[in-house]
Amino acid sequence: MHPACLSVSTFSSKAEGEGRMAYLETRGLGRDFPGVVALENFDIDIEIGRTHVLIGENGAGKSTLLKLVTGTDKPSRGTIRIDGKDIMRDRDLFRYIAYVPQELSLFPNLSVAENLLIPFHRSGLKGLVRRGRMHSLAQDYLDRFAIEGRPSDLVMDISIPDQQLLQIARASTNQDMRILILDEPTSSLTPVEVARVFKAIRDFHARGIGVVFVSHKMNEVFEIGDDYTVLRNGKKVDAGKLSDTDERALVRHMSGQKLTLGNEFRPHAEAQAAEPLLSVRNLSGDRFNDVSFDLYPGEILGFAGLVGSGRSEVMQSIFGYRRARSGTVQTQHGSWPLGDTSKSVQRGMLYLSEERKHHGIFPHLSLRENIGLSIFALTTSPLGISVSKERRAIDEIIDRYEIRTPSREKIIAHLSGGNQQKAIIGRAMATEPRILIFDEPTKGIDVRTKAQIYQIMKGLAERGIGIILVSSELDELCKCATRIVTMHAGYITGTFQTKDTDTETLISAIFDMETDHV
Amino acid sequence: MSDAQSERGREARSDGILAVMARTPVLGVFAVLVAIFVASALLSPVFLTSFNLSVVARGLAFVGLVTIGQASLMLLGELDLSLGTIGGLSGIVMGLLMVNVGLPAWLAIALALLLGATLGFINGFLVSVLRLHSLVLTIGTAGIYGGTILVLTRGVAITGIPRDIHFLGRGTFWGMPMPFVIMLIMLALAIFLTTKTPFGRYMYAIGSNRDAARMLGIKVDRVRILVFMMAGTLAALAGVLMVARLGTAQASVGNAWVLGPIAAAVIGGVATTGGVGTIIGAIFGATIIAIIENIIVLFGISPYWQGIVSGAIVVLAISFDSISRKWFRRGN
């Protein structure tokens, strides 16, 4: 029916016609979960010395595929061959595959060297632990990946981007590795750090290692990728060489419907009130200094900057999650109380954290209980919470925000990231906030859900809510924000009307070019 | 929209019994409880006699009160190892106030409960403000509260507790032992609190993810301190009822209320890490332990062996729970 369905046959025949030797291949691979087919009749060929990009919406089957080819889950049917040999005969073959998960999974209290080399037997270290030998071995890896930090530093003391690179370095200590799988390695990185990851990937190619790269960022896909496979609903819908396709086609295959790129999600800011909702003056705290800005009702105020530039810290301090050292925040009605999240929420401010897992969801509770936490005003009487009222209110939120779930009683940790995010936004909206702070709201979210989130933000702003959007994607900020504030190393370096600026200006403000070059 | 709603409803209803059991582990605990009850009735002719059942119910009442408090703390991800000595100290203080100071019974009881709340407050306050781990902190406060008992009594029981409060420990109401009735009332209140009030939902939220709870504007420290106070008050109530039952205030009151309630809660499906479980499940767990301990006595197992047997059965019960949950998940 869809044009995308037709392309399955055309593209797969093309891929088979190439006749190159695949190192990792699957044929007819399938995995069923109760009531769901997570992966169906899936063929893929991963070659060494190249980068194969996997793209697809959240829940399209990427994670299932990765679990099967790394041996953490077993297929319901089909074959996986590594170097031409069937892994069902010899599970030891999985040692040729290295996998770097999306989330950081390091030991924060151990040293950089220990993190790199544990388990010791795999890195060729025998007997008692010898620090000198360990550190010199680790230093080689740190140099190769340009990681700042000494082998003896604790992992918790090095920067997040360095931790991300350390994870990749750790995978490469596996001497047998021929295929390296990187699951969204750049989702919390800025362009400079992404370049470091890409350099590492090219080094791997040179050493005859194949890379599987999962990403939602189209520009990265085209920069680093050679081959690609698009997944949708557990099936391969498109595959081939990236040089033969373009962004528009990929997005169409991923979503199964036509989507126009470069949509404008900027609210109409004509009726900007003279009075700001929030006036931040000379706010200083841990990792930021002397921050001043105004937020007006009906605008989306973007905050651009590198990871670690202090954007999140500023927002968390205004919200009361962190302490501010000095400075004030004023509203029309007087000064804003700092240092108490419950007072901020009572006064209509909500902060939606970048760290969904740590700051957003209650993993053990159901979707209903997660959302229900913010709508007690609607559901509680002197006789307690009315579950029927709660169900009705929550079904409405599930429908309005298009949260895809089999049931409202589903444990939220079992939903996909995009649906968790929609649940968090739906919950926030239910409190009818006046000020909303979105911190990287589309991190790890597929293209279609992203567009939905932009649309929601726009609608809210046009209802007079003041929105702050912290984002590392300039593209996202330009699409959505009416004004953009840039931060560098804890200081504000500029404020721009989005319609009067360009990305070059923004980037030079983000990197604080003027100051650096004087 | 109504279509989508009815579809969701159908999906929920069409789930098999296994799926429902997997989602609500408390049913599994209840099934185990029923099985043990029936087995005990079949194995021992004495078990179902009203005298024996009232012995079980009375014993369960004291542990049950502490279990309600401990399970509430466990939902938050906290543990209080001082609940036993809080109960003991509160009972002793009530006895002293009545016997040595000559206060009227109702006032002495009220002050004892207030003391329990205060000691709970101290635990909660120190955990919240000093950011201490509750398990470690309450090892310390348990020593302090328990030491205070010895200082006050020098190990000698306080006798001469006025007869007019004995009915609290020894009396019956509709044929049920009074402490058991009081425990049931507290249980009903705790179930209402945890399932039907925003406060209870906040408890689950904090236990599931404390940082997210703060991000949502939940007053984490206040909820935590209040639950510590609630647990302290329930422990004090258990101590007061125990003294009323014994007729003397002994330094040993509360010694058995430390690990039993934690085991009961775990058997009942409450996770020590927070956010998972129910109060009713914890009470089912306490009942399972009470019946097992009773049947050991009825079988005339040597008292020297009782600890080993009841301990082994607790281990079995806990592993049964984790094995069955794994099985349900696979079957699902």
DSSP code of residue B36: H
Indicate whether B47 pLDDT > 90.
yes
Kindly state whether residue B28 falls inside one of the protein's structural domains. no
From A186-200, B43-57, B188-202, B233-247, the region with the lowest mean pLDDT = A186-200
CA angle A414, A419, A423 (to 5 degrees): 100
Single out the residue of A355, A392, A207, A325 nearest to residue B212, CA to CA: A355
Instruction: Count CA atoms within 13 Å of residue A293 on its CB side.
Output: 25
Q: What is the mean pLDDT of residues A311-325?
A: 93
pLDDT category at B4 given cuts 50, 70, 90 is: very low
Instruction: Show the domain range for B219.
Output: 47-256
Report the run of H or E that residue A513 belongs to, with start and end. helix A513-517
pLDDT recorded at residue B58: 93
Looking at residue A59, which CATH number applies to its domain?
3.40.50.300
What gap in Å lies between CA A302 and CA A498, rounded to an integer? 9
Mean pLDDT is highest, among A130-134, A290-294, A403-407, B249-253, for A290-294
pLDDT recorded at residue B142: 95
Token duo for residue B112: 């004892």
Indicate whether A25 pLDDT > 70.
yes
- Does A513 lie in the same domain as A449? yes
- Does A102 lie in the same domain as A197? yes
Q: Please list every residue in chain A whose beta carbon sits closer than 8 Å to the beta carbon of residue B219.
A: 342
What gap in Å lies between CA A443 and CA A440, rounded to an integer? 6
- Does A272 lie in the same domain as A380? no
What gap in Å lies between CA B48 and CA B25, rounded to an integer? 27
pLDDT recorded at residue B107: 95
CA distance readout (Å), A269 to A156, A296, A331, A464, A474: 43, 10, 20, 10, 20
Report the run of H or E that residue A55 belongs to, with start and end. strand A51-56
Instruction: Provide ipTM, 2 decimals.
Output: 0.81
Indicate whether B125 pLDDT > 50.
yes
Kindly state whether residue A112 falls inside one of the protein's structural domains. no
E strand segments, A62-176: 77-82, 85-86, 97-100
Q: Which amino acid, one-letter code, is at A90? A: D
Indicate whether B7 pLDDT > 60.
no
Kindly state whether residue B90 falls inside one of the protein's structural domains. yes
Kindly state whether residue B113 falls inside one of the protein's structural domains. yes
- Does A296 lie in the same domain as A184? no
Kindly state whether residue A231 falls inside one of the protein's structural domains. yes
Using CA coordinates, name the residue in chain B closest to A33: B332
Kindly state whether residue B34 falls inside one of the protein's structural domains. no
From edge to edge, which strands make up the β-sheet containing A97-100? A97-100, A179-183, A210-214, A51-56, A227-232, A235-241
Kindly state whether residue B17 falls inside one of the protein's structural domains. no
pLDDT recorded at residue B18: 57
Final residue belonging to a domain, choices A255, A274, A295: A255
What gap in Å lies between CA B107 and CA B97, rounded to an integer? 9
Q: What is the mean pLDDT of chain A?
A: 84
Kindly state whether residue A129 falls inside one of the protein's structural domains. no
Kindly state whether residue A497 falls inside one of the protein's structural domains. yes
DSSP code of residue A20: P
Q: Which residues contact A72 (CB under 8 A, 6 or more apart)?
A: none
How many domains does chain B fold into? 1
Indicate whether B285 pLDDT > 90.
yes
CA angle A153, A154, A159 (to 5 degrees): 85
Token duo for residue A253: 């295959």
Residues in chain A whose beta carbon is closer than 8 A to a beta carbon of chain B?
Answer: 34, 319, 321, 341-346, 350-351, 353, 358-365, 369, 372-374, 376, 380, 383-385, 395-396, 398-399, 406-409
Report the run of H or E that residue A31 belongs to, with start and end. strand A24-33
What gap in Å lies between CA A203 and CA A195, rounded to an integer? 12
Helix, strand and coil in chain A, % to nearest 5: 40, 25, 35
How many residues appear in chain A?
Answer: 518
| Residue from the list B8, B204, B212 with its beta carbon closest to the beta carbon of A361 | B212
CA distance readout (Å), B99 to A325, B107, B157: 55, 13, 12
- Does A297 lie in the same domain as A219? no
pLDDT category at B22 given cuts 50, 70, 90 is: low
Indicate whether A14 pLDDT > 80.
no
- Name the H helices within chain B: 2-14, 17-23, 25-43, 50-75, 83-96, 105-129, 134-153, 166-170, 178-196, 198-208, 210-215, 220-246, 259-267, 279-298, 303-331
- Does A426 lie in the same domain as A438? no
Q: At what angle do helices B83-96 and B105-129 cross, to 10 degrees?
A: 150
Single out the residue of A481, A453, A479 nearest to residue A467, CA to CA: A481
- Does A407 lie in the same domain as A302? no
- Mapping DSSP to helix (H, G, I), strand (E, B) and coil, where does residue B171 land? coil
Best mutation target among B74, B192, B201, B332 (most A Cβ atoms within 10 Å) is: B201
From edge to edge, which strands make up the β-sheet containing A288-295? A288-295, A278-285, A324-331, A334-335
What gap in Å lies between CA A372 and CA A385, rounded to an integer? 10
Kindly state whether residue A157 falls inside one of the protein's structural domains. no
What gap in Å lies between CA A485 and CA A493, rounded to an integer? 8
DSSP code of residue B301: -
Does the global pTM surpass 0.80? no
CB contact under 8 A, A341 and B207: no
pLDDT recorded at residue B16: 58
Question: Which residue did the predictor score with more confidence, A123 or B240?
Answer: B240
Kindly state whether residue A125 falls inside one of the protein's structural domains. no
Q: Please list every residue in chain A whose beta carbon sits closer than 8 Å to the beta carbon of residue B218.
A: 342, 373
The tokens 């006699």 sit on which residue?
B49
Indicate whether B303 pLDDT > 70.
yes
Instruction: Show the domain range for A191.
Output: 3-107+176-255
Token duo for residue B247: 């007729």
Kindly state whether residue B307 falls inside one of the protein's structural domains. no
pLDDT recorded at residue A95: 87
Indicate whether A3 pLDDT > 80.
no
pLDDT recorded at residue A58: 64
Task: Render pLDDT for A274-300 as a digit per residue (tens, 0 to 9).
Answer: 789 999 999 999 889 999 999 999 899
Kindly state whether residue B72 falls inside one of the protein's structural domains. yes
- Does A309 lie in the same domain as A235? no
Contact predicate A472/A190, CB 8 Å: yes
Contact predicate A79/A88, CB 8 Å: yes
| Closest CA–CA distance from residue B313 to any residue of chain A (Å) | 28
What gap in Å lies between CA A88 and CA A69, rounded to an integer? 11
CA angle A280, A282, A286 (to 5 degrees): 100
- Does A371 lie in the same domain as A387? yes
Contact predicate A459/A467, CB 8 Å: no
Work out the percent of chain A whose per-residue pLDDT is above 70: 91
pLDDT recorded at residue A265: 81
Question: Which residue did the predictor score with more confidence, B305 or B233?
Answer: B233
Best mutation target among B7, B208, B223, B328 (most A Cβ atoms within 10 Å) is: B208
pLDDT category at B2 given cuts 50, 70, 90 is: very low
What gap in Å lies between CA A115 and CA B116, rounded to an integer? 47
pLDDT recorded at residue A343: 92
Q: What is the mean pLDDT of chain B?
A: 87
CB contact under 8 A, B208 and A407: no
Kindly state whether residue A167 falls inside one of the protein's structural domains. no
- Does A437 lie in the same domain as A427? no
How many domains does chain A fold into? 3
Token duo for residue A339: 């240092």
Q: Which amino acid, one-letter code, is at A233? A: N
pLDDT recorded at residue B150: 92
Q: Do you find a cis peptide bond into A119, omega within 30 degrees of 0?
A: yes
Contact predicate B27/B323, CB 8 Å: no
Kindly state whether residue A42 falls inside one of the protein's structural domains. yes
- Does A8 lie in the same domain as A96? yes
- Does A401 lie in the same domain as A516? no
What gap in Å lies between CA A276 and CA A92, rounded to an integer? 63
pLDDT recorded at residue A267: 80
Dihedral sign of CA atoms B118, B124, B125, B126 in order: positive
Kindly state whether residue B23 falls inside one of the protein's structural domains. no
Using CA coordinates, name the residue in chain A closest to B191: A384
Question: Which residue did the predictor score with more confidence, A23 or A192?
Answer: A23
pLDDT recorded at residue A13: 36
| Residue from the list B4, B217, B275 with its beta carbon closest to the beta carbon of A341 | B217
Task: Render pLDDT for A84-140 as a digit per residue (tens, 0 to 9).
Answer: 888 888 888 888 999 998 877 889 899 999 898 887 777 777 777 788 888 988 998
What gap in Å lies between CA B209 and CA B186, rounded to an integer? 27
pLDDT category at B331 given cuts 50, 70, 90 is: very low
Beta bridge partners of A484: A302, A496
pLDDT category at A317 given cuts 50, 70, 90 is: very high
Instruction: Count CA atoms within 13 Å of residue B266 on its CB side.
Output: 16
Final residue belonging to a domain, choices A255, A275, A305: A255
pLDDT category at A271 given cuts 50, 70, 90 is: low
Name the pairing type of β-strands A24-33 and A77-82: antiparallel
Q: What is the mean pLDDT of residues A426-442?
A: 91
Indicate whether A257 pLDDT > 70.
no
Best mutation target among B194, B216, B276 (most A Cβ atoms within 10 Å) is: B216
